[in-house]
Structure 1
Amino acid sequence: MKFDLDTAWKDTMGLLTRNLGLLAVVAGVFFFLPYAGITIAMPEMGELEQASASGDFEVMMAAVSDLYLQHWWVFLILAIVQGIGLLAMLALVRQRPSPTVGEALGTGARSVLSYIAAQLLQTALIVFAVTVLITVGALTGLQALAALGGVIGFVATCYIFTKLSLAAPVIAIDGERNPVRALARSWTLTKGNSIRLFFFYLLLLVAFIIVSTVISLVLGLVFALAGEQAALFGQGIVSGLTNAVMIVVAICVLAAVHTQFMRLAGGPTEPTDT
């Protein structure tokens, strides 16, 4: 059986409708407030936004490197906090029996190290694959092959990301704390449906980018008219809000996709609390 995009979207909207209040509260605490606070408190975040808008890849990478080297500990804390929030929201929408917010946060706290380890393993796999492909092309001395290696590397990145995208729900909903087994489970669940799943993610990403860009431009202009300080404050608020909304939708998407793949695999779609 094939992954059905329409069913996944309907399930996503159903989860979003039923759990919007709780998800908004958790996302506000774990995503909106930390992200908005960092954006406002760290001027370097504004410089990163400007570098990204410039379209110069080298300038953007230099800004990213400087930012993370100077404030690595801030982003480590942020990753842990947001990891707990993400896993807690997945538990809230799909664990059965439905946990309380406190129980869901407990699941997130107990699972966050597994989640971070899975993310690091996924990143390492992507970096390794891309490095090998680009290096092989570069060793030939032919620019065309080097460029082709870069293109194949990008395709490989998209493929690996899609195949391993269900690691978070496997950890939070199924209760799998071993990061290697969580990644392997995600790879197995998506077997035979990777391309369809990728295009589902891509359509949602394009739609979100368009909507968030329009909103950011409009609200950014409104805040900019009030002065430089108001523009900085507004940038933090808009960035934090955009980040929180994206996470809420992404949580419902992952939960819906996970449920459908569990159904296709013949596994239980009403997981027990962990």
Structure 2
Amino acid sequence: MNFDMSTTWARAIELVRDNFGLLAVIAGIFLLLPTVTLYLLVPDLQALMEPGADPDMVTARMAEMAGPLITYGLISMVFSFAGYGAMVALMGDDRPTVGQAIKTGLKIVPSAFGILILFILCYFIAAMIVAIPIGVIASLSGMASLAIIAAVLILAVVIYLLARMSMSLPVLVFENTLNPIKAVLGSFKMTGPKQWSILLFWGILLAAYMVIALLITSIFSLIAAIAGDSTAAMLILGLTNGALGMIVGMIVSGLAVAMYGQLAGPSDTELTSTFD
């Protein structure tokens, strides 16, 4: 069992490059189109996301739109899970067709929701373990700055859980299981020996993504603001966020496959080809 950051990154980029055309089709259908559709169907989304928006207005409007937002959100998640599953399957050693990869992606959607629920439960328990003692100390000492420490620690917990559960999707796809608990346990077992290196790897990538995403969305949000409250503005924002989601989705899927290849060791296909 091995893990090397530079090797994982290089292999992921190689996988994305070699399968770019097919990956773009899958990402376009499952990541780009749902995002654009969401912006066009919920035109008030731009106003709600503006930093200077009135908090009371945002709260009231969100309450009014709760039903549609939850519905669209769930549909978008179904598409995202299916898309990520299909892209991971496409880059696997079995070399499936696009149709077979999409079938695999759709098949693992319920399991992916199960993994999400497990992540939320783990996060909630870990957050309580972190927040409650610090909250008690803060209330007794009157040190409000401890709230910042709690927030940083909870963020660290989120990144840690994401890193340890990052192999759950490849386990679902490559190990022919639809059991979310088995997938999460398999991911924890696989990432355990190299957990701190993997945590650092995903942490660096997350920080880089946040900076790049903030820069890109700020630029195109300004362009959309110039266009005003119109369909063109919503289309600009939808295409920007959708295209960013496509690129990130393809890279993250490639990283998951590349990392799984290192942590799981050579596949049966690779071993067979070695002796042929």
Alignment partner, residue 238 of structure 2: 236
Query: Is the counterpart of residue 136 in structure 1 residue 133 in structure 2?
Result: yes
1: CA distance between counterparts of 2:130 and 2:38? 36
Give the root-mean-square deviation of aligned CA atoms.
2.9
1:2 to 1:102, Cα distance in 2 relative to 1, 3 A: closer
The size of the alignment, in residue pairs, is 265
The 8 Å contact of residues 2 and 263 in structure 2, kept in 1 or not, is answered as no
Alignment partner, residue 78 of structure 1: 76
Alignment partner, residue 156 of structure 1: 157
Query: Is the counterpart of residue 89 in structure 1 residue 87 in structure 2?
Result: yes
- Alignment gaps of 5+ in structure 1: none
User: What's the offset of the Cα at 1:243?
Assistant: 1.5
The 8 Å contact of residues 130 and 154 in structure 1, kept in 2 or not, is answered as no
User: What's the offset of the Cα at 1:225?
Assistant: 3.9
Paired AA for residue 187 in structure 1: F
CA offsets 1:240-270 (integer angstroms, 9 cap, x no match): 111121111111111111111112xx76575
Paired AA for residue 30 in structure 1: F
User: What's the offset of the Cα at 1:119?
Assistant: 1.2
Alignment partner, residue 245 of structure 1: 247
Moved more, 173-182 or 61-70: 61-70
The 8 Å contact of residues 262 and 269 in structure 1, kept in 2 or not, is answered as no
The 8 Å contact of residues 47 and 63 in structure 1, kept in 2 or not, is answered as no
- 1:94 aligned counterpart, secondary structure: coil
Residues 88-237 of structure 1: matches in 2 within 5 Å? Answer: 88-96=86-94, 98-140=95-137, 141-142=139-140, 143-144=142-143, 147=147, 148-229=149-230, 230-237=232-239
2: CA distance between counterparts of 1:244 and 1:28? 7
1:95 to 1:187, Cα distance in 2 relative to 1, 3 A: same
User: What's the offset of the Cα at 1:191?
Assistant: 1.0
1:158 to 1:17, Cα distance in 2 relative to 1, 3 A: same
CA offsets 1:146-195 (integer angstroms, 9 cap, x no match): 63444433322221221111111111222221110100010011113222
User: What's the offset of the Cα at 1:233?
Assistant: 2.3
Percent identity reads 26
Paired AA for residue 200 in structure 2: F
1:14 to 1:75, Cα distance in 2 relative to 1, 3 A: same
Alignment partner, residue 257 of structure 1: 259
Moved more, 66-75 or 30-39: 66-75
1:246 to 1:190, Cα distance in 2 relative to 1, 3 A: same
Alignment partner, residue 274 of structure 2: none
CA offsets 1:77-96 (integer angstroms, 9 cap, x no match): 22112211111111001141
User: What's the offset of the Cα at 1:211?
Assistant: 3.2
User: What's the offset of the Cα at 1:206?
Assistant: 2.9
CA offsets 1:122-155 (integer angstroms, 9 cap, x no match): 1111112102321233234335496344443332
